Amino acid sequence: MTNSDISFLTELETIIQQRLNEGAEESYTARLVASGDKRVAQKVGEEAVELALAAISGDRQEQLDEAADLVFHLLVLLNSKGLSLTDVSAVLKQRHTTS
């Protein structure tokens, strides 16, 4: 994995923010967030369960697809709450350095 592969996640955060600014009629992301925190949280939960089930199935492509869906919906949730991957990374870094 290269830094450019990972850096797309920050680019995706920017795209998500742009979609939220466009309004609900223009994008799935904006419609999802407009439907409320509960629905966004449900999507994260659904995708997490689907990834867990895919992990059991052993199908690599399904695992990748479900992981991508989970990461996307997690980014939407974080963004809708004013959080970012940088915030999450800081917590993980702190946990690593204190353990």
Report the CATH number at residue 12: 1.10.287.1080
Q: Is the dihedral of CA 30, 35, 36, 37 positive or negative?
A: negative
The answer on pLDDT for 70 being more than 60 is yes
Instruction: Tell me the C-alpha distance between 84 and 74, whole Å.
Output: 10
Q: What are phi and psi of 82, to 5 degrees?
A: 75, 25
Contacts of 37 (CB under 8 A, 6+ apart): 80, 81
Range of the domain at 85: 3-98
pLDDT in tens, 21-45: 888 777 999 999 999 999 999 999 9
First to last CA, the chain: 26
Residue 24 or 99, more confident: 24
Domain count, the chain: 1
